[in-house]
Structure 1
């Protein structure tokens, strides 16, 4: 007769917490008025100053909303402003870590702390945010930090669902076709600081 193994209390609590978070729908997780502002941002995309001002207004109005942090990340990512994009990727990680009961420092997270093996909404978004952080670090030329983030992704997502092994090959291989990942001459012109100052801005 097979033995029935009861799950531990901690495991049960963690599973209950994870499943209670399903599902995350981006459109349903921003204030209603924000959706109209987003349409206005897209309609005025060519006006960088105007659209950034609207994004900043959204952030100021709802600073603790995950959807707004995602909006900020996407805005700066598509503007090729990788330092700000990296900041907002970390901001998403901070928000998700607090809800998942994870350490504030992503480097301290281990596979046993959350059910990263399953494609739950918040754990998936956490991993995607760390992938985004790695990508933007690479674009800023901060390859050691980019590769460190990929190490953590591969630890938490050994199946490679987020594509960390492929990104590692791009980061470390021939840059002939991967130049889009690494700094262009215009990429960091608005951040004329040394590496230490850039690190402080992101951290």
Structure 2
């Protein structure tokens, strides 16, 4: 399956959005960097708590404001919503290739969104220095994306290359 093929599938931002929520997203966009942007995003979230465009807006706001814990919560919320819509296990660790095949039949665009949200959660975890948690998700993503179209293998390679040596190898303790 070609994860990067965007032809012939609906994308999350093409789903209809309430006009007021759309207006609030535009307002937040115009307030970029200002704390008032968060209020507009949260108001949009109250109006459309399951709309992925709103969740992407919140994720980006929190990520670029370096509010990584909040960004992770939003990424995981998006994964849960999409998993429910696609019939995937709610726990990302239990998702297997056979789940992806069934999900792709339902909505290839949403499946791609799910995998990208999983990768986004990895990036947040790496920024939080939660290396083992990020590695587990990257390894899962590598198994699900055997052609490495999303770059999980390359990212894992970089993570392992820069991992502190003492973390990668157990230290020897001499006892006299």
TM-score normalised to structure 2 length:
0.79
Q: Does 1:46 align with 2:33?
A: yes
CA change 1:38–1:149 in 2 (3 A) is same
Shift of 1:27: 4.6
Q: Which residue of 2 aligns with 1:79?
A: 65
Give the Cα separation in 2 of the matches to 1:155 and 1:125. 17
Give the Cα separation in 1 of the matches to 2:90 and 2:43. 26
Q: Which residue of 1 aligns with 2:140?
A: 152
Q: 1:100–1:114: 8 Å Cα contact kept in structure 2?
A: no
Question: Which moved further from structure 2: 86-95 or 54-63?
Answer: 54-63
Give the Cα separation in 2 of the matches to 1:46 and 1:114. 37
Of the candidates 58, 69, 75, which is equivalent to residue 89 of structure 1?
75
Shift of 1:158: 0.8
Give the Cα separation in 1 of the matches to 2:118 and 2:90. 13
Give the Cα separation in 1 of the matches to 2:9 and 2:17. 16
CA change 1:82–1:166 in 2 (3 A) is same
Q: What CA RMSD, in Å, does the superposition of the two structures yield over aligned residues? A: 2.2
Of the candidates 45, 56, 64, which is equivalent to residue 42 of structure 2?
56
Describe the SS at the equivalent of 1:173. helix
TM-score normalised to structure 1 length:
0.69
Report the count of equivalent residues: 154
Q: Does 1:34 align with 2:2?
A: no
C-alpha distance after superposition, 1:119-153 (max 9, x if no partner): 92011001000000000000001010100000110
Describe the SS at the equivalent of 1:47. coil
